[in-house]
């Protein structure tokens, strides 16, 4: 037998030994002639498979062992074949076809064989094939019986397909055959929850005896409540849970964050720290997102310090979250320190994208463009869609047309494919930089005209007061059978408002609610109030506010107040101002706008009283910034 080609022999015991499979074929002379007999080739292969499965083997090694099995006539032995299946499925989806071919050649498959393949399809896809294998297994001659691991893998396939009915059938089979245990019960719960069958998931949880539930059972049910928007149920389960591990805390905190209760999430984070529960990577990422959103930089630095103690500072995702947190808190110096330290050890592209986005969000456009340009000149990284979109958004906020064109030229030269988000950002940037012609060129040359791009282009025309062209584009979109979304209606209603097209605005608002079945949001209501107000039809605006139950929505009154400022309607402005201050006494826009209305009509004393009231209530006008490009340099201006 030529199996000895990749083996060495231990002369005293005449046992075959596989060398490190990762090594190349040995160049040393073999001792095949001296030791022609192999005591147990099957066990030798099994040992090699066992060692390879425990290490980071590569596809070449797996194929080598497979070829040895074929040469020795053992490739179809179920134990050898199962070991080979495990190796092939470890190498990812690209090698799943080899595993499937081997599976089809096995004549005497067992439960473990099917479990390996169903698990592989649950992990690598396609999940539908995993469920077909389960059906095939149950029909096999001899009636192979799936175990809990087989069924758990099949339930993961159901979850991936959102197939609650197949999950129910598997659940029924488990009940009929009495093979359930806590692990399988957890899998059934999780599958129901991921399929949206939250009631069934809860019934499975309630049917499990108290001592039959483990920490995973409580965590799965908490996640199910969170997915089903049952915040009270999730919190109740958390408080009742006898064992709270890090997953329990992560589940409840992330659920409160997702529901918008950041204050509750912060309180739970403090409680978690007090209990001494160790943070994992997800906890740190979640905590950084939370404190960044709340602007709590001091707490953010504490989380950072804890990360350093736990040796998480080299994790790319966490370093990225850390930079993002500091940027959102306005601490760009600290963000740069983290960025510079991590550039050598982490992916420069991801971190650079976050740093550029953070600079643009903080109005530091000059530095963002400088970093972007340095990266391109140095050849450090090739910009991705996220980075290019951030830079283009910075161009839009800065209003720098020349720079916007330079970035656009860089995008055109880039070999990366343009996506709709980048094209929308370009349309928006050109519109805000004052070049509607360039914005239209991007729209015409776009790779795909979907609803998002249509909406961005209509909004570009609305920004420039070109209501007629915006309406024409909207009608063209309808003729192309593109169904408008909320943003499209905001854009066209805004265009009608700025161009005084009252009847067209009425028509599209009715179309939105009655034909397109798009629920009106506050933005749509604001556009309609602004439409009536700018046209001088303030009584209709009042009637519209009352009919739609908007009396307690502050931004609606602000829109009417601004419209009255444009029209110079002092009495209606007074009424809108009073309503606005009643709802939001700390809104600086209400005081400033009404004061300007009074000043423009010569009511200087009353205007001064409004300003004095504003100061007395400790309401301060927000800072405003402007940027101007002079001799290829960005100049920043600020004021109240």
1 Cβ contact partners less than 8 Å away, ≥ 6 residues apart? 36, 38, 41, 71, 72
Please give the class, per CATH, of domain 521-640. mainly alpha
Q: How many CB atoms lie within 10 A of CB 535?
A: 18
Where along the chain do the CATH 1.25.40.10 domains lie?
A: 347-448, 521-640
| CA separation, residue 227 to residues 196, 201, 248 (Å) | 8, 12, 15
Query: What is residue 36's predicted lDDT score, i.e. its pLDDT?
Result: 41
- Summary mean pLDDT of the chain: 80
573 contacts 541 by C-beta, under 8 angstroms: no
Cβ partners under 8 Å of residue 185, min gap 6? 204, 208, 212, 217
* C-alpha–C-alpha distance, residues 18 and 8, integer Å: 7
Whole-angstrom Cα distance, residue 430 to residue 440?
9
What band does 244 get if pLDDT is binned at 50, 70 and 90?
Answer: confident
Nearest to 258 by CA among 302, 295, 218, 289: 289
Calpha distance 512→638 (Å, rounded):
40
Are 175 and 203 within 8 A, CB to CB? no
Radius of gyration of the chain (CA): 33
pLDDT score, position 639:
54
SS3 of 287-338: the string is: HHHHHHHHCCHHHHHHHHHHHHHCCCCCCHHHHHHHHHHHHHCCCHHHHHHH
Taking residues 167-172, what's their average pLDDT? 92
Task: Label residue 636 by pLDDT band (50, 70, 90).
Answer: low
**Cβ(535)–Cβ(498) under 8 Å?**
no
Q: Are strands 15-17 and 8-10 parallel, antiparallel or unpaired?
A: antiparallel
The H or E element containing residue 461 is helix 451-463
**Mind listing the pLDDT tens digit for each residue in 247-302?**
889 989 988 888 778 888 999 999 999 888 888 889 999 999 999 988 899 999 99
Which span out of 27-41, 292-306, 574-588 was modeled with the highest average pLDDT?
A: 292-306
Q: CA–CA separation, 402 vs 433, rounded Å?
A: 9
* pLDDT-derived band at 128, boundaries 50, 70, 90: very high
Residue 353 · residue 386 · CB < 8 Å: yes
The 3-state DSSP class for residue 78 equals helix
pLDDT at position 451 over 80: yes
Provide the whole-model pTM.
0.63
585, pLDDT greater than 80 = no
> How far is Cα 309 from Cα 29, in angstroms, rounded to an integer?
53
CATH of 347-448, one of 1.25.40.10, 3.40.50.300, 3.40.50.2300, 3.40.1260.20: 1.25.40.10
Q: In the Cβ-directed half-sphere of 486, how many Cα atoms lie within 13 Å?
A: 8
Q: In this model, does residue 13 exceed pLDDT 50?
A: no
Which H/E stretch holds residue 522?
Answer: helix 522-534
Q: Tokens 């001592």 belong to which residue?
A: 211
Q: Helix 385-398 to helix 365-378 angle, to the nearest 10 degrees? A: 140
The residues near 552 (Cβ < 8 Å, ≥ 6 apart) are: 583
Q: Determine which of 228-237, 443-452, 456-465, 623-632 has the lowest per-residue pLDDT on average.
A: 623-632
Beta strands in 103-243 (DSSP E): none
Unique residue bearing structure tokens 């055109």: 412
pLDDT tens per residue across span 55-110: 666 776 777 777 767 777 766 777 777 887 887 788 777 778 888 888 888 888 88
> Does 612 or 474 have the greater pLDDT score?
474
């Amino acid at each position: 037998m030529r199996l000895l080609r990749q083996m060495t022999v231990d002369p005293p015991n005449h046992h075959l030994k596989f060398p490190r499979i990762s090594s190349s074929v040995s160049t040393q002379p073999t001792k095949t002639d001296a030791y022609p007999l192999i005591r147990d080739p099957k066990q030798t292969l099994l040992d090699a498979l066992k060692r390879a499965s425990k290490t980071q083997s590569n596809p070449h090694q797996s194929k080598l062992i497979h070829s040895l099995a074929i040469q020795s006539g053992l490739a179809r032995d179920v134990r050898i074949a199962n070991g080979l299946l495990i190796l092939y499925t470890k190498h990812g989806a690209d090698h799943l076809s080899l595993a499937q071919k081997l599976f089809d050649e096995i004549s005497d498959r067992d439960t473990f064989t099917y479990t390996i393949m169903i698990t592989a399809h649950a992990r690598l896809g396609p999940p539908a094939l995993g469920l077909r294998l389960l059906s095939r297994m149950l029909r096999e001659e001899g009636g192979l019986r799936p175990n809990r691991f087989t069924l758990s893998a099949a339930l993961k396939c159901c979850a991936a397909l959102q197939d609650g009915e197949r999950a129910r059938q598997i659940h029924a089979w488990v009940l009929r055959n009495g093979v359930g245990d806590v692990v399988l019960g957890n899998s059934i719960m999780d599958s129901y929850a991921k399929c949206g069958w939250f009631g069934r998931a809860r019934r499975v949880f309630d049917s499990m005896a108290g001592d039959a539930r483990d920490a995973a059972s409580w965590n799965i049910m908490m996640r199910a409540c969170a997915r089903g928007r049952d915040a009270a149920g999730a919190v109740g389960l958390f408080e009742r849970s006898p064992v709270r591990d890090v997953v329990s805390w992560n589940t409840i905190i992330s659920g409160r964050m997702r529901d918008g209760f950041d204050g509750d999430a912060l309180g739970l984070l403090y409680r978690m720290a007090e209990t001494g529960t160790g943070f994992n990577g997800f906890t740190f990422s979640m905590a950084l997102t939370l404190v960044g959103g709340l602007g709590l930089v001091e707490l953010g630095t504490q989380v950072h310090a804890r990360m350093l103690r736990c040796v998480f500072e080299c994790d790319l995702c966490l370093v990225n979250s850390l930079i993002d947190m500091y940027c959102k808190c306005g601490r760009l110096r600290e963000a740069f320190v983290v960025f510079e330290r991590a550039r050598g050890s982490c992916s420069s592209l991801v971190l650079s994208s976050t740093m550029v986005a953070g600079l643009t969000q903080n109005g530091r456009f000059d530095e963002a463009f400088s970093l972007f340009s340095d990266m391109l000149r140095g050849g450090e990284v090739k910009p991705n869609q996220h980075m290019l979109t951030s830079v283009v958004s910075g161009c839009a906020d800065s209003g720098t047309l020349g720079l916007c064109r330079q970035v656009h030229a860089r995008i055109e030269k880039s070999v990366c494919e343009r996506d709709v988000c980048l094209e929308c950002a370009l349309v928006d940037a050109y519109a805000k930089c004052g070049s509607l012609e360039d914005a239209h060129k991007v729209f015409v040359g776009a790779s795909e005209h979907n609803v998002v791009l249509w909406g961005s282009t209509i909004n570009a025309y609305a920004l420039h007061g070109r209501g007629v062209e915006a309406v024409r584009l909207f009608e063209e979109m309808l003729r192309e059978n593109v169904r408008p979304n909320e943003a499209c209606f905001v854009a066209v209603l805004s265009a009608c408002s700025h161009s005084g097209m009252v009847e067209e605005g009425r028509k599209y608002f009715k179309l939105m609610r009655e034909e397109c079945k798009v629920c009106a949001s506050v933005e749509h209501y604001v556009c309609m109030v602004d439409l009536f107000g700018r046209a001088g039809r303030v009584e209709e605006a009042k009637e519209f506010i009352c009919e739609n139950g908007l009396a307690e929505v502050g931004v609606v009154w602000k829109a009417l107040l601004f419209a009255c400022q444009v029209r110079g309607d002092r009495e209606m402005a007074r009424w809108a101002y009073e309503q606005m201050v009643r709802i939001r006494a700390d809104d600086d826009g209400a005081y400033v706008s009404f004061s300007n209305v009074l000043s423009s009509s010569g009511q200087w004393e009353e205007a001064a009283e409004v300003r004095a009231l504003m100061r007395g209530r400790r309401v301060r006008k927000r800072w405003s910034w402007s940027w101007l490009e002079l001799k290829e340099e960005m100049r920043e201006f600020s004021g109240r």
